[in-house]
Amino acid sequence: MTWKLATLVAALTSIAACQAPEPTVYDIQISGGVVYDGVSESGRAVDVFIDGDKIAFVGDAEAANATARETIDATGLIVAPGFIDPHTHTLTDVMFEQDGQQLAGYLTQGVSTVVAGNDGGGPVDTGGALAAVQERGLGPNFALFTGHGSLRGEVMGRENRAPREIELDEMKAKLRQALADGALGLSTGLYYAPASYADIDEIAALAAVAAEYDALYESHIREESSYSVGLLGAVDEALEIGRRSGAAVHIAHIKALGVDVWGQSEDVISRIEAAQAEGLEVTADQYPWSASGTRISNALIPNWAKADSDEAMYARLRAPENRDRLIAEITENLRKRGGPGAILLVARTDGLSSRTLSEEAAALQLDPVQAAIDIVLGGDARIASFNMQDADIERFMRQPWVMTSSDGTNGHPRKVASFPRKYRTYVEEKSVLSLAQFINLSSRLTADTLNLCGRGQLKRGYYADVVVFDPQTFGPVADFSTPSELSTGVQHLFVNGHRAIADGSLNQNLQGRALKRGACADIKETAS
Ligand SMILES: [Zn+2]
């Protein structure tokens, strides 16, 4: 071979190498599924590549000359961003329940990130709580609100009065620390005593601190029914807090609770749309059930009776001089909620199965109001309260600013079946939402609203939180008689690139991370 020929061969070889370069090899390739990326209005037949804890690439594998060490066949399956649940009560499960860290009931809904600390109950020491959760390990990712009720409780107990200036300053200082430590924002539970004793000035002053950190004002509003200011009055208050403080407003588990406010979803929506038109950022979340879940004391006992301490409340419930007023108000509260037949006693600690307050009262040979008082005096009970209309539920659900949540509590199937139920009932059966809308409102909208950056989309450089589910079988199993049965249909669930569910079976690995608001400098540089 002459030197010229050798040069030519070398040149041709290098051209051939350019034409068929070595493929890029990633860790995992999910191929053959229909991919919904969290933003698009429809699905695409493309592949998703995962490398380490990030999404390496979403698109045509051949065109990109990409391959992987492991391929997952997703033929016939839906591939989507892992769902994000913005309202749970999982801090107790994670920290105190035996084997509660895995949160299997959320993973099997396709949820890769849960948020806790809502309703004003989030820990004051958010940084400490996030560190403790990370230390124990957990299945999905985890983020926290810090709570007004907790701040107020630490500074001024259960007192029924406005804070003194020095007390408000102390609450602000503790809130600043929590936000600096990664809290998603300030949550309130203005319906609940003692937070209900706070007026709008107190809340707006605290929400202004959240605004300093570009964090959310998140609220279980003062009223979802017609107890005091009314649903519309409470929505107006939440919007006014946004206006005064400059914070983005998020309304928790939006609903029209009870016969007196059925149909008011229309007015709620137009008020929120008007506020958005004037420049306020307003969002909400919703669980797809017609029954709420709470304690019988929260549902029926008037707030004035709850001040100071449980002992003080018990004394008021027993005091003969309060009797007529209590009976009148509890009777009225029962009427709003549809009567004693619409209150189901659940998650009972006495080992009995669920039964309605009517049935319970009959068994105790008491009238329902006295039965309710006795139950509270005996240590309270969890209830499912059937108090919503489907027309309101669907009207809220259609709004592009309403995201999916569970508000999961023990004894209510929403804890294990909210996302599958929303899909099965409101996408598949009733076509209230398209599949893409359901996915986008369960992932991207939530991540963007909560400032969980690098989450909520299938996008290069984002964290690999990915759900792969079977559209034929994704659905709830739990109902009110078996409220803990795990949902079906999730074939694979990736949390930070690791499989929490593989081939339909739960793994024991705890790959969730404690997430801080907006902590993703590395994502912004790499994502495209
Ligand atoms: Zn709530």
Is 522 a residue whose pLDDT tops 80?
no
- Tell me how far the alpha carbon of residue 292 lies from the centroid of ligand 1, in angstroms: 9
Give the other-Cβ count within 10 Å of 294's Cβ. Answer: 18
CA distances from 493 to 36, 107, 139, 159, 310 (A): 15, 7, 11, 46, 43
Cα(153) to centroid(ligand 1), Å: 17
* Other beta carbons within 10 Å of 80: 30
Q: What is the pLDDT of residues 5-38, one digit of tens each?
A: 555 555 555 554 456 789 999 999 999 999 999 9
Q: What is the whole-number distance in angstroms between the Cα of residue 457 and the centre of ligand 1?
A: 27
Percent of the chain having pLDDT more than 70?
95
Distance 280 CA to ligand 1 centre (A): 22
Ligand 1 centroid from CA 89, angstroms = 10
Q: Is the confidence at residue 50, as pLDDT, over 70?
A: yes
Average pLDDT over every residue of 44-72: 95
DSSP state at residue 452: -
Which sign does the torsion angle of CA 247, 284, 121, 101 carry? negative
pLDDT in tens, 65-111: 999 999 999 999 999 999 999 999 999 999 988 888 999 999 999 99
More confident residue, 451 or 3: 451
pLDDT at site 18:
53
- Say if CB 190 and CB 132 are below 8 A apart: no
pLDDT for residue 99: 83
Q: How confident is the model at residue 1 (pLDDT cuts 50, 70, 90)?
A: very low
Cα 293 to ligand 1 centre (Å) = 9
Ligand 1 midpoint to CA 409 (Å): 10
Model confidence at 182, pLDDT cuts 50, 70, 90, reads: very high
Output the six-digit token pair for 379.
């240590």
Ligand 1 centroid distance, CA of 335 (Å): 21
Between the CA of 221 and the centroid of ligand 1 the distance, in Å, is 8
Whole-number Å distance, alpha carbon 61 to ligand 1 midpoint, is 45
**Ligand 1 centre and the CA of 407: distance in Å?**
7
Question: What average pLDDT score do residues 28-57 get?
Answer: 97
Task: Quote the ligand 1 centre to 190 CA distance (angstroms).
Answer: 9
What is the structure's pLDDT at 39? 97
pLDDT at residue 322 tops 70: yes
CA of 252 to the centre of ligand 1 (A): 6
* Ligand 1 centroid to residue 358 C-alpha, Å: 25
3 state SS of 293 = strand
Confidence of residue 154 (pLDDT cuts 50, 70, 90): very high
Q: What is the DSSP letter of 222?
A: S
- Give CA angle at 156 (154, 162), nearest 5°: 135
pLDDT by residue (tens digit) across 336-387? Answer: 999 999 999 987 777 777 899 999 999 999 999 999 999 999 989 999 999 9
Contact 92, 51 (CB under 8 A): no
